[in-house]
Amino acid sequence: MPKTAASTDSLHGFEPYKETKGEEYMNEKQQEHFRNLLLAWKAELMAEVDRTVSHMKDEAANFPDPADRASQEEEFSLELRTRDRERKLIKKIDATLELIDQDDYGFCEACGVDIGIRRLEARPTATLCVDCKTLAEIKERQISG
Ligand SMILES: [Zn+2]
């Protein structure tokens, strides 16, 4: 099958996991696959955070024009929000790596079923199966109106 940019992007350069017939769900090989995937993703995010911090240091010049200053501040605050999201994501990745170490990775935390390899490859930090996730989203919508 030809490699598409989309599939390798979401897997951070990794090939999708190929299960062998009768393979046990979340055996050591699968855990290893997801550990590598999460570590690669984390490394990408951390490089991204570093890049922004140094970019902001470089650009933190004094603009004499208030309009330039304002647009720079706006740009920085947008970047800071992005960085904040990335830091939270890194924390979530760390928590997920811990789950792998404890042999708890890959199972729905609400109902206990297998979350599934394909879903985890699309969302390595998922802690809910599709059904529970859908339910949680419906509930959330009802609460927020
Ligand atoms: Zn579930």
pLDDT tier, 111 (very low <50, low <70, confident <90, very high otherwise): very high
Assign 101 a pLDDT band (cuts: 50, 70, 90).
very high
Residue 46 belongs to some domain of the structure: yes
- The answer to whether residue 12 is domain-embedded is no
Question: Domain containing 82: what range?
Answer: 28-107
Ligand 1 ion local residues (Cβ < 5 A): 108, 110-111, 129, 132
Q: Which residue has the higher pLDDT, 134 or 56?
A: 134
In a domain, 61, yes or no: yes
Question: Between 61 and 79, whose confidence is greater?
Answer: 79
CA of 6 to the centre of ligand 1 (A): 27
Burial pattern 53-65, b for ≥16 Cβ within 10 A else e, equals: eeeeeeeeeeeee
For residue 6, what pLDDT is reported? 43
- Ligand 1 centre to CA of 107 (Å) is 8
SS3 114: strand
3 state DSSP class of 107: strand
CA of 102 to the centre of ligand 1 (A): 19
Number of domains present in the structure of the chain: 1
Residues 11-66 have pLDDT tens digits of 888 899 999 999 999 999 999 999 999 999 999 999 988 887 777 777 766 677 88
The pTM of the full predicted model, rounded to 2 decimals, is: 0.80
Say if 78 falls within a structural domain: yes
Nearest Cα residue to 108 out of 123, 93, 94: 123
Q: What is the CATH number of the domain that holds 38?
A: 1.20.120.910
Is 83 inside a domain boundary?
A: yes
DSSP secondary structure letters along 48-102 = HHHHHHHHHHHH----SSHHHHHHHHHHHHHHHHHHHHHHHHHHHHHHHHHHHHT
Residue 57 in domain: yes
Residue-level pLDDT at 145: 64
Measure 115 CA to ligand 1 centroid, in angstroms. Answer: 7
| 133 Cα: distance to centroid of ligand 1 (angstroms) | 7
48 CA distance to ligand 1 middle (Å): 33
Spacing, Cα 1 to ligand 1 middle (Å): 32
Tell whether 140 is covered by a domain: no
Confirm whether 137 is domain-assigned: no
